[in-house]
């Protein structure tokens, strides 16, 4: 199957060399869809003009209703950009300051004195991961809300991971707390405030914060998210599988996720970010500035956006999102005003952003690597299990579940990794590998995350 995909992509690269970019993009995406590697909506624009928009697959596996350009998807972590904007609007209205200590708004967390609103915005606060804490301490027969997170943190007072602004570590906790700060500072619910401050003024009519299990309602044109069940050999709602029931018991949490939208509404959002409709020019600029640590080091994250300075494509602000059933991505090329929006409602899909970027800029398609999966025993897999720390950055947790190995970066979902050789594993959801290494005693001592030409070392924690 993997060999077929690779050959297919190479053939497309040769056959479409003389065709225009739109045809190349369509050929690429059709090839991926035929291999079940994408399922969702793709919109591409240049200077605000849509040059490509197409839907691939179903919005509802039961009714077989097809996706269309107005299908509404859960955005997962792409919601963070709206949470950050909500904070910035409150800042401009004088309702809060970015240097405010979070305890001003969340006095229950007084033991985290010194963590500022700005620390939460750019992931430099050092707060522990709420998902891990809730997994062990929350009653999963209920549906958690942001208030439950605050209550559990208040009760158990988990230690801060590092002194604020000395490190960068992606934090869902920070953005969940930002949603609660929005509610305190505005006197409104998170959903109502975003609607009043952002969605309604921009006429984003199909965008809203929504807790589907906590407060269900009928939404026309909703794209239900599905995961693939290996045992059932079909796509099912994540609610039906024990391993993905996190979508139920964490459904009431907003801020780090929870916003739903369409590709068309996200293009409206994209255009607004080039204007001063929501913020002054100065504050809008600050949203896309790199985080600066106490020692002066820069990190590639602004306020709700990853920031990239690319030699070929210029300055880019983007974000991806992943939650059982959904994979989302928005790529804003600030230097050249190009926009790529990909919303998908299957979990085991790819985000072909590299290939789309290459086509947009008339560059050769990236070469698809052939990776052959092999089998090793569960006993052999067990020796890789552990937590590996990337200095001053984050942790990579390697776990074994039902004889399958999974990798999870701090604050992100766990993804299965597949055996390529004795010490080398690869992902199927992204083009990346994990290379393990032994010490002089023959024990697994560290790993290297290999992606985009980079080699990031993580040392095994004792």
> What amino acid positions are annotated as catalytic residues?
77
202, 269 contact by CB (below 8 A): yes
Indicate the SS3 state at residue 448: strand
Q: Where are the alpha helices (DSSP H) in 187-229?
A: 190-194
Q: Where are the alpha helices (DSSP H) in 273-351?
A: 281-287
Which tokens go with 251?
Answer: 């459904």
CA distance 306 to 120: 14
The dihedral region occupied by 301, where left means phi > 0, alpha psi between -120 and 50, and beta the remainder, is: beta
CA distance 174 to 1: 40
CA 66 to chain centre: 25
DSSP state of 369: P
150, 109 contact by CB (below 8 A): yes
CA proximity to 256, closest of 392, 155, 129: 129
Which tokens go with 230?
Answer: 């290996």
The dihedral region occupied by 167, where left means phi > 0, alpha psi between -120 and 50, and beta the remainder, is: beta
Q: Which residue has the tokens 């604020």?
A: 164
Which tokens go with 14?
Answer: 């040769």
CA distance 90 to 197: 9
Torsion angle, CA of 290/291/292/297, rounded to 10 degrees?
-80
For 395, list phi and psi in degrees, rounded to 5: -120, 150
CA distance 288 to 23: 32
Strands 40-46 and 65-66: unpaired
179, 190 contact by CB (below 8 A): yes
The dihedral region occupied by 196, where left means phi > 0, alpha psi between -120 and 50, and beta the remainder, is: alpha
Indicate the SS3 state at residue 197: helix
309: enclosing H helix or E strand: strand 306-310
395, 388 contact by CB (below 8 A): yes
């Amino acid at each position: 199957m993997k060999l077929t995909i690779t050959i297919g992509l190479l053939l497309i690269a040769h056959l479409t060399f003389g065709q225009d970019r739109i045809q190349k993009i369509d050929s690429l995406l059709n090839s991926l869809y035929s291999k079940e590697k994408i399922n969702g909506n793709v919109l591409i624009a240049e200077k605000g003009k849509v040059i490509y928009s197409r839907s691939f697959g179903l919005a509802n596996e039961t009714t077989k209703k097809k996706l269309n350009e107005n299908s509404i998807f859960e955005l997962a972590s792409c919601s963070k950009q709206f949470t950050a904007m909500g904070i910035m609007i409150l800042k401009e209205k004088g309702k809060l300051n970015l240097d405010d200590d979070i305890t001003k708004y969340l006095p229950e967390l007084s033991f985290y004195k010194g963590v500022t609103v700005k620390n939460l915005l750019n992931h430099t606060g050092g707060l522990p991961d709420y998902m891990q804490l809730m997994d062990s301490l929350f009653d999963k027969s209920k549906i958690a809300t942001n208030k439950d997170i605050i209550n559990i943190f208040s009760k158990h007072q988990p230690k801060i991971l590092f002194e604020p602004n000395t490190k960068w570590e992606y934090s869902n906790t920070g953005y969940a707390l930002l949603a609660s700060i929005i509610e305190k500072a505005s006197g409104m619910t998170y959903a109502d405030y975003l609607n009043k401050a952002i969605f309604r003024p921009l006429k984003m009519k199909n965008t809203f914060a929504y807790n589907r299990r906590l407060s269900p309602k009928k939404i026309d044109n909703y794209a239900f998210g599905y995961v693939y069940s290996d045992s059932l050999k079909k796509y099912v709602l994540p609610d039906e599988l024990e391993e993905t029931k996190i979508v139920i018991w964490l459904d009431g949490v907003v801020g780090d996720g929870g916003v739903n939208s369409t590709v068309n509404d996200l293009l409206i959002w994209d255009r607004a970010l080039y204007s001063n409709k929501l913020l002054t020019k100065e504050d809008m600029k600050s949203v896309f500035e790199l985080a600066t640590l106490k020692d002066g080091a820069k990190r590639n994250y602004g306020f709700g956006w990853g920031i990239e300075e690319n030699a070929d494509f210029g300055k880019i602000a983007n974000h991806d999102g992943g939650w059982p059933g959904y994979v989302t991505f928005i790529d804003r090329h600030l230097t050249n005003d190009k926009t790529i929006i990909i919303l998908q409602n299957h979990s085991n899909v790819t985000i072909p952003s590299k290939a789309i970027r290459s086509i947009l800029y008339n560059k050769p398609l990236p070469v698809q690597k052939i990776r052959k999966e092999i089998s090793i025993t569960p006993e052999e897999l067990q020796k890789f299990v552990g937590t590996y720390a990337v200095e001053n950055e984050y942790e990579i947790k390697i776990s074994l579940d039902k004889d399958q190995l999974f990798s999870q970066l701090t604050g992100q979902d766990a993804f299965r990794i597949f055996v390529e050789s004795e010490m080398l594993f690869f992902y199927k959801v992204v083009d990346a590998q994990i290379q393990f290494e032994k010490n002089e005693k023959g024990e697994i001592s560290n790993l290297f995350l290999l992606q985009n030409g980079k080699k990031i070392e993580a040392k095994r924690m004792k």
